[in-house]
Structure 1
Amino acid sequence: MTASAQSQALAARLAAAVREQAIAAGSDTPAVRGATWRLATVASIVADGNVTTSDGITARRLESYQSPGAGDLIAITQSPGGAWIAWGRLSTGTIAVGETRTVRKPSSTSRDSTTALAADPHLTVDVVPGEYVLDAFIAYDADSAADLKLGWFAPASTAGAWWPGGSDSSNTTLAATTRWGSPPDLTTTALPVAGVGAGTITACRPVATAVVTATGQISLAWAQNASSATPTIVRGQSWLQVRRIA
C-alpha cells in the first residue's frame, strides 16, 4: 500500500470514529437530538406544580394532569433546551384518579315479594382502593305501599356517606317533598323512596362518597321497602356514574 493510500485509510478510520463519538454525544444532548418522550414513575409531588420521577427528573405537570400521586406511571417529554413536561397519568388497566366510568341500564328489572337488597344486574362498576364520588339516576315505579328501598354494595371495609335524592317514602303523589336528614353510612343503612303507584314512573338521584380499601365492585342495590306481589320496577335508561378522586 502506498503512503497516500495509507493516509487515506487512516483518515477514513478517524472520520468514522469522530462520527460515532458525535452520535453518542448527541444521543445524550437535547439540543442535538431535539425533543423526545418516554415513560417515568412519579416519586414525589412538588408544590409548585412539578413532579419528580424515580430516576431524578423534575417535570412540570400539564394543567390536565390532576391529583398526581407517587407511583403514577406518566409520559414525560423534553424540550431541546432540556426542560421536562409531565403529560399525565397513563392507564393501568383499572380506574385511575380523575377517571369517570358510567354504566347505563339497558332494560328494566322487576322485583316483587322481597325486601332483601340485591345488586342491580346492570348498575355495577369495578373499583380499586381509592376515594370515589357516586352519582346515579334511577327511574322506577312501585306500588305506594311497597316503595323502593335503596342501598349500596361495595368491597369490605368501604366507608362513606350517601343520600337517595328522592321523595320521602310516606308520600303517595308526584307532588311530594324530598327526603331529608343526616346522611347514613354507605354500606350499612338502606333508605326508601316513595312509589306512587304501579305504572307511574318517578325518579330519584342517589349520590355518595366512598373510600374503598380493597379491589372489588360498587353496585347500586335495591328491593321493595315493604313486601308486595305488585312488582317494584327499576327502569331501563337509569344509570350509575363512578368518579375516582384520589
Structure 2
Amino acid sequence: MTRPTQRVTHDLRFALTEMAQRVGERSPSVRGGDWQMAVVTLINGDGTVAVDGIPAVRCLETYEQPTVGDVILITQSGNGNWAAWGRTSTGGIAIGQTVAARKSSSTPRTSTTVMANDPHLAIPVVPGTYKLDAFLMYDGDATADLKLGWSAPAGTTGAWWPGAMDNSGTTLTAVQRWGALSDITASTITVGAIGAGSIIACRPVGTVVVTTAGTFALSWAQGTSSATATNVRGQSTLELRRIA
C-alpha cells in the first residue's frame, strides 16, 4: 500500500470515528440519559404516569394533577429510570400556577353606586378552576361604605366570602360579615367603612370556575352614594391560583 493510500485510509477512519462519536452523543440509546417531550396516556395510582409506550414515569412533586393528554417533559437516568418534570406551557395558566395583580395607586369614587371594574385589579384568565385570594385596603364615609363584586368572562361560576366587617359597623370593633355568596358574577355585598382617611382592610376569598377565556376583575362602588370619596388603596392585591 502506498503512502498516499495509507493517508486517505487514515483520514477516512478518523472521519468515521468522529461521525460515530457525534451520533452517539445525540442518541439516548448510546448516552443512556436524555430529556424529551411525551404525551400522558394513563395516570397510575402510585405517583407515576404512562407516556408514549413507557409504562411508569415518576412525577416530580411540582407536577400537580397529571391529566391524560398533558404534553410533558421527561428525562431518563443512565440506569434507565424515567422522571416527569411537568407539563409544558400552552401559553395559558398552568395548574398550580398563581397569577396576581397589584394596585399601583389609590382609586377614589364619589357619588356613585354603579359597579365598575377596578383599573388595576384585573387578571387575564383561561378556562379552569381557581382559588381566589384578595387583600383590599380601603377607606370611606361610614354611611357610604364599600360595595364589592366581581367581573368575569361569560359562563363563570363560583362562590366567595368578603372577609370584611359588617356594613353596619362604624368602628374597628364592628362585627365581621359571615355570609358567603354563591354566585360570584351576580352577587355583590356592601362592607363597612368607618370614615374618610381611616384605612381598613378586607380579605375576599373564594372559588372561581372559568369556562371562557377573558378577564377576571374586582368590581366595586359605594354602597350608598356620598360626595365623600370611597377609596380602594394602592398596594391592594388580587391573586388567582389555578387548582384544576
TM-score (norm 2): 0.88
- One of 81, 86, 90 as aligned partner of 1:83: 81
In structure 1, how many angstroms separate the alpha carbons of the residues matched to 2:151 and 2:53?
41
Question: Are residues 170 and 131 of structure 1, via their aligned partners in 2, closer, same or farther at CA, if it must alter by over 3 Å?
Answer: same
> Offset at 1:56?
4.7
SS of equivalent to 1:120: strand
> Offset at 1:183?
3.2
Unaligned runs of 5+ in 2: none
Alignment of 1:72-151 (within 5 A): 72-151=70-149
In structure 2, how many angstroms separate the alpha carbons of the residues matched to 1:61 and 1:26?
28
> Offset at 1:91?
2.5
Alignment match, 1:197? 195
- One of 215, 240, 244 as aligned partner of 2:238: 240
Contact 2:142 2:192 in 1 (8 A): yes
Q: Give the AA of the match of 2:209.
A: V
In structure 2, how many angstroms separate the alpha carbons of the residues matched to 1:45 and 1:141?
50
Asked if 1:42 corresponds to 2:44, the answer is no
Alignment match, 1:181? 179
Contact 1:30 1:79 in 2 (8 A): no
In structure 1, how many angstroms separate the alpha carbons of the residues matched to 2:118 and 2:2?
89
Aligned identity (percent) is 54
Q: Give the AA of the match of 1:64.
A: T
In structure 2, how many angstroms separate the alpha carbons of the residues matched to 1:112 and 1:25?
71
Alignment match, 1:155? 153
Contact 2:162 2:180 in 1 (8 A): no
Question: Are residues 143 and 39 of structure 1, via their aligned partners in 2, closer, same or farther at CA, if it must alter by over 3 Å?
Answer: same
Task: Spell out, residue by residue over 1:1-31, the C-alpha distance to the aligned partner (whole angstroms, 9 max, x if none).
Answer: xx899x989x98x979x96997799579756
Question: Are residues 26 and 102 of structure 1, via their aligned partners in 2, closer, same or farther at CA, if it must alter by over 3 Å?
Answer: same
In structure 2, how many angstroms separate the alpha carbons of the residues matched to 1:165 and 1:212?
22
- One of 208, 211, 214 as aligned partner of 1:210: 208
Contact 1:112 1:228 in 2 (8 A): yes
Task: Spell out, residue by residue over 1:50-109, the C-alpha distance to the aligned partner (whole angstroms, 9 max, x if none).
Answer: 112246563110112111222323211111222211011232222110001121101000
- One of 45, 53, 63 as aligned partner of 2:61: 63
SS of equivalent to 1:200: strand
Aligned residues: 243
> Offset at 1:129?
0.6
In structure 1, how many angstroms separate the alpha carbons of the residues matched to 2:25 and 2:50?
22
Unaligned runs of 5+ in 1: none
